[in-house]
Amino acid sequence: MTTTRFAPSPTGYIHVGNLRTALMNYLIARKAGGTFILRIDDTDPERSKEEYVDAIKQDLEWLGLHWDRVERQSTRLDRYADAADRLRDMGRFYEAFESPTELDLKRKKQLNMGKPPVYDRAALQLSEDEKSALRAERGAGVWRFKLDHERIEWADGILGDISIDAASVSDPVLIRGDGQVLYTLASVVDDTEMGVTDVVRGSDHVTNTATQIQIMSALGQDHPRFAHHSLLTGPQGEALSKRLGTLALRDLREQGVQPMALLSQMARLGSSDPVDLRNEMAELIDGFDITRFGAAPTKFDEQDLFPLTAHYLQRLPLADVKDTVSTLGVPDEIAEAFWLMARDNISTLGDLDRWWSLCRDGAEPLIDDEDRDFIAQALAMLPDGPFDGDTWSNWTSAVKDATGRKGKKLFMPLRKALTGQERGPEMAALMPLLQTLPKV
């Protein structure tokens, strides 16, 4: 039974980078008819905030990434303590007392000597008396997992065969001096106890994966299948990490990006398939194949979300946007006609307001000097309302006969006078919706 999880730490809003992880895990579970767990990694009581837990849930719900159940690490501390005891009993856990400054110094020295900055295991040499003395002086130490110095190998779902020399990795700290269990251990315990079969996460976790595979095997467990997706960069390949704060899902939602636009982009970006708009989650699930994704950094441009959003909206029937349209104040009788007129001329639903103001209040006309007399003459010939679908063609034929103008010279000045702009909806569709004519 396929089980995946999305495991955010509730220390901030989730952004496009997190979404990639969430979506891939979601699609794998749904495609296999399996389980998708939302796991809240809240072992850090200072940085974890309830408001972010709520925000994460809202953002996932907005996108339609529904989870089968929620797990919270803060409720499972006894399970982690249990695993820590077992590792201690096996002799795979040791206490170390170096301060961050001492560790930093060690790293610098190693680097100066051209060596990799790997923890030197000095703490393994401490006698019980020395440890007691250090404990008395500095408080409890951190607990490190003693890696077996062998190669750690796995077949990565995206990166292919990976082999990491454990000797090139520092023994990971799994428990802090204040007793706080760190993610590396908590995640291992959860993934095994919750039967997680597939873990997709960012390639910044590759080294973690190596150490987690060894911890799992020390605990007598097989590891799940791992896949590490590449990190997102900006459109020029620049690091996105600093900008991720402004690419929170709620900011994109605020800007009018539609869920299916974002999901369609994220389900394909970085894969060998082109990004194209899908209207339903089911299509994304069907078409998802993790083996299509590559290891190269993936360029992301949020501007691409707007044409996709526009494209999505163009296909929607009124029923899907009824609330938005009626909130604008569009009367029910013309709501459908208004939507069909406007949907091809918006990039987000936020643009609807502009078209409704134009219909309701009339436009500020745009009239070139050489067209002034022509417009006055044409407007005088405008039939009394109410206008219908034929008004535009009947009126413009009559104006053509009366003035001799035709083609662009006939239509463009009329459009500009009635809408205040050179481009926009079909005039035949717009005319019946005009509640107010321009004040010329």
Residues at the interface with ligand GLU (CB under 6 A): 7-9, 41, 183, 187, 201, 205
Question: Least distance (Å) from ligand GLU to the CB of residue 271?
Answer: 20
**Distance in angstroms (rounded) separating the CA atoms of residues 437 and 381:** 13
| Least Å from the CB of residue 332 to ligand GLU | 46
Smallest distance, Å, CB 9 to ligand GLU?
4
As measured in angstroms, the least distance from the Cβ of 205 to ligand GLU is 6
Q: Please, which residue, 10 or 432, has the CB nearer to ligand GLU? A: 10
Write out the DSSP string of 43-99. Answer: --TTT--HHHHHHHHHHHHHHT---SEEEEGGG-HHHHHHHHHHHHHTT-EEEE---
Beta-strand pair 142-145/173-175 = antiparallel
CA distance 373 to 249: 52
Contacts of 321 (CB under 8 A, 6+ apart): 313, 339, 349
Complex with ligand GLU: residue 8 or 256, whichever CB lies closer: 8
Nearer to ligand GLU, 7 or 313 (CB): 7
Minimum CB separation of residue 4 from ligand GLU in Å reads 10
135 versus 250: smaller Cβ distance to ligand GLU: 250
Q: Distance between CA atoms of 209 and 225, rounded to whole angstroms?
A: 10
Q: What is the C-alpha separation between 226 and 197, in angstroms, rounded?
A: 9
Tell me the closest approach of the beta carbon of residue 316 to ligand GLU, in angstroms: 34
Q: Tell me the C-alpha distance between 201 and 22, whole Å.
A: 8
Q: Which is nearer to ligand GLU, 187 or 298 (CB)?
A: 187
For the bound state, the minimum distance from the C-beta of residue 337 to ligand GLU, rounded and expressed in Å, comes to 48
Report the half-sphere exposure of 216 (CA within 13 A, side-chain side): 22
38 and 5 Cβ atoms separated by less than 8 Å: yes
Tell me the closest approach of the beta carbon of residue 200 to ligand GLU, in angstroms: 8
Query: Between residues 198 and 371, which has the closer beta carbon with respect to ligand GLU?
Result: 198
- Cβ 426 to ligand GLU shortest distance, Å: 49
Asked if residues 427 and 418 have their Cβ atoms less than 8 Å apart, the reply is yes
Among residues 215 and 260, whose Cβ is nearest to ligand GLU? 215
| Contact partners, residue 423, CB within 8 Å, separation at least 6 | none
Cα 394 from Cα 391, distance rounded (Å): 5
- Closer residue to ligand GLU in complex, CB, 94/226: 226
| Closest residue to ligand GLU in the complex (CB) | 41
Q: Smallest distance, Å, CB 19 to ligand GLU? A: 12
Residues shown for the chain:
440
Q: Which is nearer to ligand GLU, 8 or 424 (CB)?
A: 8
Which C-beta is closer to ligand GLU: that of 41 or that of 98? Answer: 41
Do residues 219 and 10 touch, judged by C-beta distance below 8 A? no
How many C-beta atoms surround the C-beta of residue 170 within 10 A?
17
432 prior amide bond cis, ω within 30: no
Query: Residue 87 burial (CB < 10 Å; 0-12/13-18/19+)?
Result: buried
